[in-house]
């Protein structure tokens, strides 16, 4: 059902891109109604415009808070044009019929993000604009609604292709986008007002969405909602998949913990290799040595620019994604030799303060685990004190185990991951897995340290670690049988520190 546009109400905050639209409307003889700054802008284009004030006989009042909130405006928008009674009301009350509404909203989100005061933020809560958008979207059978600056060009293409007329399907799509805009805006306002949890409710909204090739498996459809481009620039490679996104998130969360030069290799959201070294090539070499088998098809992440020497080493294996803050020109040429290889530049580490997970047809929400233990947080509970080198390894291992699936054990030596056991149903099994992995790659555990994401319920784990050559342990503590583990360490010249912080990850 094509509808002809004969009149349009335009009142926008963002005017970039508006000029060609209003010029095209004018070419087609469309009557334009407008307010304040938008009306002035349209006049500057030498286009006639009728002010809303001339329709309502009311000026803009209360410092601009009330401009369009009037029956003569909303009547023209909400009138059902096929209903005789509504048409009669328009004539009776001298209300102009409106066929199109073009409105965008005050930049509330940007205002809050800028650190503005509460008073400034409140003034950027749009009332008239959002009311116009909702009214026009509700009446999409008869009206077209343009609800944000990003739609100006899309609407202009319609005008250029077929003139001032739209199909029902087009109007419905614009209406759906309008309700998305309004609901997203309301969510921003609600979460700002409710930042002290005055109302026990959870709302979240993402304005960007993308259909992925598939979900976790090819028979599952997958989607990503978020602004990936604000965090990364993709320089090369195939389309990023659902599983790639999960691995990228895990890799970035881990690498962000380190200030020193590190290289990490992840697979299925867990580290299979990570090392810190002065030179990047050495960090890469030692990270790969931690588990060169699992590295196949993995995700690579580092916190320094990738140079040609390191790229040559990396290029010898198959991997899905590499993430870095930059690449030298020569390094990029090397890495681009594989056409499907995804190469990302990290713009910034950006993590939300809250994380959410669907469960039982609802949502679990919690604060991100942002605790990073320092040497001052370590409490030595054994007779033997760890050395400075051991403390450095303990803190390194504790960061890695924090980002490993529970139950998790991580073994580190000289700031290199030399073994890990992840996702096990018992802690001792996780340790057995870690030791077996180190042995399979001929990695010497004598003098290594062990990190556990939660307390040891029995002394069997420290006994097994001792027999493997491990000399120092970091764990949260808190078991009713902690003393058994402490006594074993004291009797075998091991050191153990408690952090008091558990790092479960499921």
Token pair belonging to 321: 């994604």
Distance, in Å, from the CA atom of 138 to the CA atom of 36, rounded to the nearest integer, reads: 25
Contact 171, 144 (CB under 8 A): yes
In 3D space, the residue among 465, 500, 491 whose CA is nearest the CA of residue 383 turns out to be: 491
Quick check: is 23 catalytic?
no
- Which of these is catalytic: 24, 138, 236, 492? 138
The packing angle between helices 71-78 and 128-138, to 10°, is 30
In 3D space, the residue among 174, 9, 25 whose CA is nearest the CA of residue 97 turns out to be: 9
In 3D space, the residue among 404, 223, 234 whose CA is nearest the CA of residue 322 turns out to be: 234
Q: Which residues of 415-451 are buried (b: 16+ CB within 10 A; e: fewer)?
A: bbbbbbbbbbeebbebbbbbbebbeeeebebeebbbb
Q: Which residues of 321-343 are buried (b: 16+ CB within 10 A; e: fewer)?
A: bbbbeebeeebbebbbeeeebbb
- Which of these is catalytic: 24, 124, 268, 338? 268
**Which phi and psi angles does 457 have, rounded to 5°?**
-70, -20
Residues 6+ apart with CB under 8 A from 192: 108, 112, 121
Residues 6+ apart with CB under 8 A from 117: none
Three-class secondary structure of residue 264 per DSSP: strand
**Strands 144-146, 165-166: pairing kind:** unpaired
Quick check: is 467 catalytic?
no
Token pair belonging to 168: 């029902």
Beta bridge partners of 270: 267
Token pair belonging to 184: 């997203």
Distance, in Å, from the CA atom of 275 to the CA atom of 267, rounded to the nearest integer, reads: 16
Q: Which residues are catalytic?
A: 138, 268
């Amino acid at each position: 059902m094509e509808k002809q546009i004969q009149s349009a109400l335009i009142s926008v905050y963002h005017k970039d891109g508006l000029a060609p639209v209003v010029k095209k409307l004018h070419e087609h003889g469309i009557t334009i109604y407008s307010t304040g700054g938008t009306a002035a802008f349209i006049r500057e284009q030498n286009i006639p415009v009728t002010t809303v004030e001339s329709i309502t006989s009311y000026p803009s009042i209360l410092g601009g808070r009330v401009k369009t909130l009037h029956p003569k405006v909303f009547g023209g928008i909400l009138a059902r044009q096929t209903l005789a009674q509504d048409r009669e009301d328009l004539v009776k009350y001298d209300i102009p019929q409106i066929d199109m509404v073009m409105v965008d909203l005050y930049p509330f989100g940007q205002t809050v993000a800028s650190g503005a005061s509460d008073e400034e933020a409140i003034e950027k809560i749009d009332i008239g604009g959002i009311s116009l958008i909702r009214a026009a979207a509700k009446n999409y059978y008869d009206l077209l609604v343009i609800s944000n600056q990003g739609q100006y060009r899309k609407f202009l293409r319609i005008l250029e292709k077929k003139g001032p007329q739209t199909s029902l399907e087009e109007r419905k799509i614009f209406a759906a986008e309008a309700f998305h805009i309004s609901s997203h805006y309301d969510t921003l306002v609600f979460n700002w007002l409710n930042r002290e949890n005055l109302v026990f409710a959870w709302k979240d909204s993402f304005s960007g969405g993308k259909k992925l090739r598939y979900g976790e498996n090819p028979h599952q459809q997958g989607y990503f909602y978020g602004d990936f481009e604000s965090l990364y620039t993709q320089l090369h490679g195939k389309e990023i998949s659902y599983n790639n996104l999960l691995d990228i998130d895990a890799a970035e969360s881990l690498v962000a913990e380190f200030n020193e030069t590190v290289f990490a290799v992840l697979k299925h959201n867990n580290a299979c290799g990570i090392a810190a070294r002065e030179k990047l090539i050495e960090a890469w070499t030692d990270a790969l040595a931690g588990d060169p088998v699992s590295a196949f098809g993995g995700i690579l992440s580092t916190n320094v620019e990738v140079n040609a020497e390191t790229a040559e080493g990396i290029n010898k294996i198959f991997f899905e994604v590499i993430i870095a803050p930059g690449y030298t020109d020569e390094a990029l040429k090397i890495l681009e030799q594989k056409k499907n290889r995804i190469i990302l530049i990290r713009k910034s580490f950006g993590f939300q303060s809250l994380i959410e997970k669907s469960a039982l047809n609802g949502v679990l929400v919690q604060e991100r685990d942002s605790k990073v233990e320092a040497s001052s947080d370590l409490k030595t509970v054994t007779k033997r004190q760890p050395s400075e080198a051991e403390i450095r390894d303990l803190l390194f291992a504790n960061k890695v185990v924090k980002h490993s699936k529970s139950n998790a054990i991580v073994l580190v030596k000289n700031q290199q991951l030399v073994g890990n056991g992840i996702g096990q149903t018992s802690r001792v099994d996780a340790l057995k897995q870690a030791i077996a992995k180190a042995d399979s790659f001929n990695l010497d555990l004598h003098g290594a340290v062990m990190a556990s994401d939660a307390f040891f319920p029995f002394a069997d784990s420290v006994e097994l670690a001792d027999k493997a050559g491990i000399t120092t342990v970091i764990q949260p503590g808190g078991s009713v049988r902690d003393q058994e583990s402490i006594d074993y360490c004291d009797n075998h010249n091991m050191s153990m520190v408690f952090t008091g912080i558990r790092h479960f990850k499921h």
